[in-house]
Amino acid sequence: MNLASMAPDALKTAKEEISHRWLALEDKVQPVFFLQWVWISLWFQKLKRPPVFVVVLDADKNDIACGFFVHHQQRRHKFFSISQLRLHSTGVREVDDINIEYNDLLCEPARLFDAWDAVIDGFLALRGQQGFSWDEIVLQGATDIAQDRLSNLGYEVHQRREQSAAFVDLKSLRQKNVFKKEDYINSLGKSTRAQLRRSIRLYESKGPLQFIPADGLDQAQVYLTALSQLHNEKWNRLGRVGSMESRFFSEFSFELLTACFREGRVEILRAQAGDHLLGYIYNFLNHDTAYFYLSGFVNEDDNKLKPGLVTHCLAIERYLNQGLDVYDFMGGDNRYKTNLGSRGASIVTFALQRATPILKIEALIRKMRNGILKPRDNS
């Protein structure tokens, strides 16, 4: 396999070619939502500095894999400057907080290891050319499965972050003839069952539970505006900043909605009991999977009312009946996710590091700090 790359300046004039190549490979690979052109193109068009477009070719010059890498200079330990190549992320928190997940090269799974081997060999060959340099390759929002795969390439692997992830196996539930929320609730643990049944009973005393999808883009934008307010209010009560207070995150979320809504690739749903609002959820739809991306729920005075649990329960019932196979809660160390579903692959951020003197020293310090190595006792 060989590596071909397109410099950042060339992206301005070659967008149509890149789009064609990505979409052709996307049609073949059928990737997760986050590796589809609609997400990737919206992301890189909003960057202040364009990324490097990389393609892996087979012996017949056919595209095997592709991805966008951003060069980022990271200051660490006050003194060290580390040169990073970041796949589909930037190293700038405000930009990366859109939270790509299942991040990887766009590639057929069976060829990913060889594709990554070609990418790294290509990057090594480019070192020193026109100022091109790198110390580590960073994958943010990848899976622990990807990390394990790439650890076999012979480079130091440094995991920076790990989050549990959870999903509901809708296909398995349907095989057990589960289609109604009551039957789904029966499959859950004792405590979760009790909370959901009590909360649903209390909500139904206010009026019938309804789960209302936006019936057009205009209403979807109204829903997202209301979701944003509820989302931010929740985090503000906890003394933190809500995601939708970030201009980049908010603009990206609305632009993604506009790009995908009419094709049925995203949806925003409103949950209510009679006229009483529970909240909103913003989900991505891709092949047989619904991905839960963002929510905003009413802050209830009665802690027996669980608007989030009930709304997710309604979503699961909806997708069971629509024939989807997976409701993916994605990353986040929230207990309700595993209470409603099962643990999936962890979402991680990690780096593949070259054996540079600075990174060797950093790895040694890290191992000593973690108790893997102990200083020699010379007494």
Q: Rounded CA gap, 279 and 82, in Å? A: 43
How is the beta sheet containing 165-169 ordered, strand by strand?
Answer: 209-213, 266-273, 276-286, 289-297, 326-331, 165-169, 342-343
Q: Are 209 and 270 in contact (CB under 8 A)?
A: no
Domains detected in the chain: 2-164+346-369 (3.40.630.30), 167-343 (3.40.630.30)
Opening angle at CA 293, ends 289 and 296, nearest 5: 130
Cβ atoms within 10 Å, residue 109: 11
Question: What average pLDDT does the segment 135-140 reach?
Answer: 96
Taking the complete model, does pTM exceed 0.85, yes or no? yes
Helices (H), the chain: 8-11, 15-29, 37-45, 93-96, 112-126, 144-150, 170-175, 181-186, 190-204, 217-237, 247-260, 307-322, 335-340, 357-369
Q: What is the pLDDT of residues 192-208, one digit of tens each?
A: 999 999 999 999 999 99
Q: What is the pLDDT of residues 152-179, one digit of tens each?
A: 998 989 998 999 999 999 999 999 999 9
Q: Rounded CA gap, 200 and 182, in Å? A: 10
Q: How confident is the model at residue 375 (pLDDT cuts 50, 70, 90)?
A: very low
Q: Are 181 and 316 in contact (CB under 8 A)?
A: yes
